[in-house]
Structure formats: C-alpha cells, structure tokens
Amino acid sequence: MKRFNVTLVGGGSTWTPGLLQSLCKLKDRFPMKKLVLFDIDEKRQRPIGEAAKILFKEQYEELEFHYTTKSEEAYKDVDFVFMQMRTGGLKMREKDEKVPLSMGLLGQETCGPGGFAYGLRSIKDMIKTINDIRKYSKKAWILNYTNPAAIVAEALRREFPEDKRVLNICDQPVNLLRSYGRLLEMDSKEFEPVYFGLNHFGWFTHLYDKEGTDLLPKIKKLVVEKGFQPADAEQRDKSWLYTYGVVKNMVEDFPDYLPNTYLQYYLYPKEKVQHLDPKYTRANEVMDGRETRIFEECEKIIEKGTAEGSSFVHNDAHSEFMIEVAESIAYNKQKMYIVIVENNGTISNIQDDAMVEVAAVMTSNGPRPLSVGKIPTFYKGLMEGQLAYEKLTVDAYYEKSYQKALQALTLNRTVVSAKEARKVLDALIEVNKDYWPEFK
C-alpha cells in the first residue's frame, strides 16, 4: 500500500489535535510516510507539535514527523496538503462577530458582514500559500477547509483556473448526515445524499438508504416532532445546540428539503441578531472553550511525556471527512462526498462559473459531480442573490473597489439596507486595515 507525504497548513489550529488523533485511528486506510505541521505562529505550533511527537511515538511509530514555520521545509515533496488556517486568528473572528452585532446586524464567522470581512482577509494568504506549495510540489492535492469556503473557492477558481488539484471542502454536510443517522438510529455511512447549494447555503433534496428508499420524508417528520440535535450533541457548546434546534423552524416554514443549519442566518436574520449576545460571541466561546482546552491538553501531554489516557474533545466528522476524501483520491475509491466544485451544468439552471456544493464521486482524477438538474424558483432565487454577493466580494478584492464591496453587502440577505451596508462596511474597513486591500 502506497504511503503518503502530508503537510498540514494551520498546524496550530484548534482542530489540529483532533485531526492528528484521527490520522492515527485511520492509519490503515490512509497511511502516511511523513507528516509536517506548518504554521506561521511558532507559539501555537510548538506545543501542538511537541505533543504530536509524543502521540506519534506511541501510536504511529513508522511516521516521520516534524513541525516547522518555514515554507520550504513544509512543501517539498508532498502528496497531500490539508489546510485549515485563519488569517487574523480568533481575535479577528471576534471583531467579525461584534462589529456588525453592535449595529444590530448579523455577526457570524462565515455569514453576512462577518463572513465578508473574513473572506477579504483569507484570499491573500490562501493565494500566497498555494503559490508557495506549487513552488515545491506541483502535483500535490490541496484539500482546503479554510473559511469562508465559498469566498475562498471563488477567489481560487479565478486565481488558479488550470489547477485542478485544489479542492475546497466543508464538514457541515457530514455533520448533518451523522446527525440524521443519530435521529434514525442508522449508520450515516449507508446514506446516499442528493444535495445542492453554495457553501453554508444548501439543501438535502433526497437521502437514500441502501435499498434506494428516500429517508428524507421520515427525517423531516422526526425533526418536526422531536427537534434536531448534532450527532455529537454531548460534546457541543450550547450555541451549537441552539443552532441545530432552529432547523425545526426551517423545516416547518419550508418543508421541501432539509436545510443546512447555516441557512437560518439568511432566513431569520433579525431573530438571530436578537438571540446573539454582542458582548460574548461564538469566538469568545471558542477561545474560552476549545482553544483553551486543547493547549492545556498539549501541555499535559508534554509534562507527562505520554499521550496515553489523554483525549482531545474533538469532532470526528471534521477530521475523518478530510482524511476520507484524501483516501478516496489516493486509492481511487470513487466514494461519494459533498464538496465544492465549479458548477458547469451540475445544477442546470445556475450559471456555469458558480462554485457550488454538491455530491461528487471522488476519484484519483478529482471530483466527478453528480447531476442535480433544475432547482425550483425559491431556491434558485436565494442562491443567485447569495452567489452575486460572493462574486462581488471577490470582485471587490481584485478591483480594490469600495463600490463592489458596498454592492456585495447590500445584496446580502442579512443586511439589505444600503445605508446599513455602508455603515458596517466603513466600520469593518477601519478594523481590517492591516489585512484588506485598500479600497478606492
């Protein structure tokens, strides 16, 4: 069995320890020869890297492992690059959430003005990183989690039109599949989904079991009767439990399909703003929770000199999804996964150059998306508005255009008023001075 050289960009990410544990767990399915963690922040990389050394000595003896802050060391002779970085860190996520909320607008990591601000920060670093990777490893597969995936995917489509080995992915569809599995008391691995949309903006239209029976009607009924919770509810913070709970409202209002949780920010922007605390947002919850816990756990491992008995509370769906997509590419498994691809007719009444999220068969030559066909007017309308917002955001980046940025935010369903769009844009420009292009 061929073993692979893998580099993880954003080696200091709060999701990294969980991913490392899953790489150990799945080492027979996706065996690595070498793993390198790369991060620009030594203070984050070191503790995770040192804890990883101990973990691998115990659980992955044959693995060559090191961590670095030098790109040349990270990108030489690599087969797969996994990316999960955050330009500006969680401190800037906090601003993305709090600046809009302070004006009564939605502040969220990837949706609305917060996601817009984050997108304009991510693009430059993503382009630089991919250029760095390609200097040393022309053919490496680049699997990217870095958010906001919709904006990042659109920018990378424009920047690297010929590069077919960059794939943007999101764990939320898998989180949802596993949650349907919990609700039905079935293994979600048996499900065959039909899904369409943009990233964090999509719907399951069918969910077939092994016999080909559509489980969607049963799931919708159960969601309305019993409510909805994440597969890993016991490990989730309360804000996520609430978010999953709102799926019931969406199914009641629009019972055609099963919506991605993120649609609630667009369907109920006012109600969401009322429910969010502008003084303590999800970024605070993450910094006080997951971030604090994983660095404490690393220090414990380093102190004790063993990873035995330690476990990072982590989301298996997140780490296993990345590894399974890599496995399917590596060994041409042709398994089906929901990923982000250029539309090119997959959704027949949406423009070709949209980056859409759909089910695709994952081969060693990349994703082969499964045709969705025509989507109904309501969903098409929602998607086209959001798509225009995403494209204008990327236009604003490339053209350094204040006007395009204003158009983007005005089109976003979480904003609507052009006056409010201008107000939040001006405030975000101020806060993002060190990261954004200077608008004309």
Q: Would you say the C-alpha torsion 141, 339, 316, 194 has a positive or negative sign?
A: negative
Nearer to ligand NAD, 89 or 385 (CB): 89
Strand partners, 37: 8, 67
- Parallel/antiparallel/unpaired status of strands 166-168 and 141-144: parallel
Strand partners, 194: 206
- Parallel/antiparallel/unpaired status of strands 4-9 and 192-198: unpaired
Enter the DSSP assignment of 347.
Answer: B
Nearer to ligand NAD, 37 or 383 (CB): 37
Give the footprint of ligand NAD on residues 284-343 (CB under 6 A). Answer: 291, 318
Number of residues that bind ligand NAD (CB under 6 A): 27
Phi, psi (deg, nearest 5) at residue 96: -55, -35
The site string for ligand NAD over 67-106 (x = CB under 6 A, - otherwise) reads -----------------xxxx-xx----------------
- Could you please report the per-residue DSSP string of 138-198? TT-EEEE-PSSHHHHHHHHHHH-TT-TTEEE--SHHHHHHHHHHHHHTS-GGG-EEEEEEE
- Could you please report the per-residue DSSP string of 204-248? EEEEE-TTS-B-HHHHHHHHHHH----TTGGGS-HHHHHHHHTHH
Nearer to ligand G6P, 39 or 109 (CB): 109
Q: Which residue shows structure tokens 């369903």?
A: 413
- Residue 83 CB, shortest distance to ligand NAD, in Å, is 8
Enter the DSSP assignment of 290.
Answer: I
- Residue 339 CB, shortest distance to ligand G6P, in Å, is 13
- Residue 64 CB, shortest distance to ligand G6P, in Å, is 30
- Residue 348 CB, shortest distance to ligand G6P, in Å, is 27
Nearer to Mn ion, 51 or 170 (CB): 170
With CB under 5 to 8 Å by kind, the binding choice for 401 among Mn ion, ligand G6P, ligand NAD, none is: none
- Contact with ligand G6P (CB under 6 A): which of 52, 120, 286, 358? 286
> Active site residue: 262, 265, 337, 379, which one?
262
First to last CA, the chain: 54
Strand partners, 357: 340
- Contact with ligand NAD (CB under 6 A): which of 108, 147, 328, 410? 147
Longest alpha-carbon distance in the chain: 60
Q: Which two tokens stand for residue 233?
A: 């509810």
- The residues of the shown chain that bind Mn ion, judged by CB under 5 A, are 170, 172
Environment class of 61 (CB within 10 Å of its CB; exposed 0-12, middle 13-18, buried 19+): exposed
Strand order in the sheet with 32-38: 64-68, 32-38, 4-9, 80-83, 141-144, 166-168, 335-342, 355-363, 366-369
The site string for ligand G6P over 37-66 (x = CB under 6 A, - otherwise) reads ------------------------------
- Contact with ligand G6P (CB under 6 A): which of 282, 391, 404, 413? 282
| Residue 262 bears catalytic tag | yes
- Residue 145 CB, shortest distance to ligand NAD, in Å, is 4
- Residue 333 CB, shortest distance to ligand G6P, in Å, is 23
What 3-state DSSP class applies to 4? strand
Q: Could you tell me if residue 344 is left (phi over 0), alpha (psi between -120 and 50 degrees) or otherwise beta? A: left
Q: Which two tokens stand for residue 312?
A: 């990072």
Give the footprint of ligand G6P on residues 166-225 (CB under 6 A). Answer: 170-172
With binding defined as CB under 6 A, does residue 21 bind ligand NAD?
Answer: no
Environment class of 349 (CB within 10 Å of its CB; exposed 0-12, middle 13-18, buried 19+): middle
With CB under 5 to 8 Å by kind, the binding choice for 282 among ligand G6P, ligand NAD, Mn ion, none is: ligand G6P
Beta carbons of 117 and 294 less than 8 angstroms apart: no
Nearer to ligand NAD, 40 or 267 (CB): 40
Task: Kindly report the number of other CB atoms within 10 A of residue 258's CB atom.
Answer: 25
Give the footprint of ligand NAD on residues 222-251 (CB under 6 A). Answer: none
- Residue 88 CB, shortest distance to Mn ion, in Å, is 18
- Residue 408 CB, shortest distance to ligand NAD, in Å, is 19
- Contact with ligand NAD (CB under 6 A): which of 39, 324, 327, 395? 39
The site string for ligand G6P over 80-119 (x = CB under 6 A, - otherwise) reads -----------------------------xx---------
Strand partners, 142: 81, 166
Nearer to Mn ion, 152 or 170 (CB): 170
| Minimal CB distance residue for Mn ion | 170
Give the footprint of ligand G6P on residues 314-343 (CB under 6 A). Answer: none
Which residues contribute to the site for ligand G6P (CB under 6 A)? 109-110, 147, 170-172, 282, 286
Which residues contribute to the site for ligand NAD (CB under 6 A)? 9-10, 12-15, 39-41, 44, 84-87, 89-90, 125, 129, 145-147, 149, 170-172, 291, 318
Active site residue ranges: 171, 262
